Structure 1
Amino acid sequence: MPATLTKVLYKVNSQSTDEYTIIVDPEQYKKWKDGGTTIPLSEVVDSFKIFHSIQGSQGILRTPSQQQLDTDFGFHKDVDVVEHILKNGKEQSGEGIKSGAGSLNLSRSSAVADTRGKSLSGI
């Protein structure tokens, strides 16, 4: 069974819709946040992949450039940015996020809706 994951969201400016997101293991993150900073970050985060959205948590998640990270955080090394987000971000439950789950964007899959009047039952 895949592990349930959680998002940690961070806004550089409370007035902006720009938002950074990382995916974490909720149990390890809680231990780390409660003072277990000896827990390796590799056990806390699902990956060191940092996501950025200019439309808040509902926007399209993209990978920020190093220049963008330097501008917003003052550094761009992924470990430093992830640790900053873990310390200063807000946890958001990810009930629908599963590690190792199938396609997260079904619109990009090969499922095609045929609207030309043919029946799909004969397939």
Structure 2
Amino acid sequence: MARELTKVVYKPDSQKSEEYIIIVNPAEYKKWSQGGISIPLSEVVDSFQVFYSTSGNQGLLGQASNQQLENHFGTSKDVDVVEIILKRGKDQPGDAISTQTFMTNATRGSGVIDSKGKGLTGI
């Protein structure tokens, strides 16, 4: 089963590559951004986790530290930061997130452990 994904990306300085990213529910975010301010933020965002990247939103994402949030937003309170990103950021719809199991490195074998009778001598 796949789930739709939308990121809201806020870039504080156009001259730098650092970005703050949150994950939102696309339908609720669209309603919220079109004036549905009465919609609770807990329904708009997937989580109140703020991600940070220095290599653009396609690179590796890490969780933003409280110090980074304080420096760029004047607060480290997650609700306030998320609201600022929602208002100033730009949405970027993406591919669906799959909840299926997938192999991360096919060259390392199937990942199946054979526990049928060889004992310790056959390893």
Q: TM-score, normalised by structure 1?
A: 0.80
Q: Which residue in the other structure is 2:58 paired with?
A: 58
Matched residue SS, 1:43:
helix
CA-CA distance at 1:103 after TM superposition: 6.3
Matched residue SS, 1:20:
strand
5+ residue gaps in structure 1?
Answer: 116-122
Q: Which residue in the other structure is 1:18 paired with?
A: 18
CA contact (8 A) 1:51 1:62 kept: yes
Q: Which residue in the other structure is 1:43 paired with?
A: 43
CA-CA distance at 1:114 after TM superposition: 4.2
> CA 1:114/1:95 → structure 2, altered by over 3 Å: closer, same or farther?
closer
CA-CA distance at 1:59 after TM superposition: 1.6
CA-CA distance at 1:33 after TM superposition: 0.4
What percent of counterpart residues are identical? 53
Letter of the 2:86 partner, please give it.
L
CA-CA distance at 1:3 after TM superposition: 3.1
Q: Alignment length, in residue pairs? A: 110
Matched residue SS, 1:58:
coil
Following TM superposition, the consecutive aligned residue runs of length 4 or more in structure 1 with deviations greater than 6 angstroms are none
1:68-79 paired onto structure 2 within 5 Å:
68-79=68-79
Distance in 2, matches of 1:114 and 1:62, equals 27
Q: TM-score, normalised by structure 2?
A: 0.80
Query: Rg bigger for which structure?
Result: 2
Matched residue SS, 1:56:
coil
CA-CA distance at 1:20 after TM superposition: 0.6
Letter of the 1:40 partner, please give it.
P
5+ residue gaps in structure 2?
Answer: 115-123
Distance in 2, matches of 1:60 and 1:3, equals 21
Distance in 2, matches of 1:51 and 1:103, equals 24
